[in-house]
């Protein structure tokens, strides 16, 4: 199919759900740039550098690269020469927000299209916020995040 797609997000931290989307995307597109937004307004637990590093360590495969970006996604995508944005869709609850975002991005750049990818049902209930909360309270998240992230979370919460 197309050559290059951008998969943007906060990735605070990357979970097996994100990795599932990246893997599915990598089977369709020749190249994927995982674009980590600084998302300062969301007060991330991990710094931008830490989020990029965790992704780099867990997505090492041909055709997938990780970068950070600031500002408007459509401007970043245009600068990279990408016309496709990948987003994950878990449940109906994701739909309204993602629908608005996709149409706003198309308004800002009419050449831009958003591709929605559904993860394996194993990861449908998973999000970064829940993973942080369960980890903070000492719950077992070893099947939900890569080891790299598990260790980083343990270190953050001294568990």
Site membership for ligand ADP, residue 46 (CB under 6 A): no
Please give the C-alpha separations between residue 45 and each of 37, 83, 98, in angstroms, as whole numbers. Answer: 13, 30, 23
Please indicate whether residue 18 is annotated as part of the active site.
Answer: yes
Considering only the C-alpha atoms of the chain, give the largest distance between any 2 of them, rounded to a whole number of Å.
47
In the chain, the DSSP E strands lie at 4-9, 31-37, 64-69, 84-88, 113-117
Kindly tell me which of 31 and 94 has the beta carbon lying closer to ligand ADP.
Answer: 94
- CB count within 10 Å of CB 60 equals 10
Q: Report the distance separating Cα 159 and Cα 156, nearest Å.
A: 8
Contacting ligand ADP (CB under 6 A), which of 119, 131, 132, 152? 119
> Among residues 43 and 158, whose Cβ is nearest to ligand ADP?
43
Whether residue 57 lies in the annotated active site: no
For ligand ADP, which residue of 11, 46, 69, 76 counts as binding (CB under 6 A)?
Answer: 11
Decide whether 10 or 158 has the Cβ nearer to ligand ADP. 10
Q: Exactly one of 6, 9, 25, 135 binds ligand ADP (CB under 6 A); which one?
A: 9
Q: State the catalytic residue, choosing from 51, 87, 128, 132.
A: 128
């Amino acid at each position: 199919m197309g050559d290059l797609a951008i998969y943007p997000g906060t990735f605070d931290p990357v979970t097996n759900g994100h990795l599932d989307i990246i893997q599915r995307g990598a089977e369709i597109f020749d190249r994927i740039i995982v674009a980590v937004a600084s998302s300062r307004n969301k007060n991330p637990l991990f710094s931008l550098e830490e989020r990029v590093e965790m992704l780099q360590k867990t997505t090492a495969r041909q055709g997938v690269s990780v970068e950070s970006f600031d500002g408007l996604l459509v401007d970043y995508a245009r600068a990279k020469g990408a016309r496709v944005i990948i987003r994950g869709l878990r449940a109906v609850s994701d739909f309204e927000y993602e629908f608005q975002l996709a149409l706003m991005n198309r308004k800002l750049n009419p050449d831009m299209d958003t591709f929605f990818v559904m993860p394996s049902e194993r990861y449908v209930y998973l999000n970064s916020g829940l993973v942080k909360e369960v980890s903070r309270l000492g719950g077992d998240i070893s099947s939900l995040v890569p080891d790299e992230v598990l260790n980083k979370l343990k270190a953050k919460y001294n568990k």
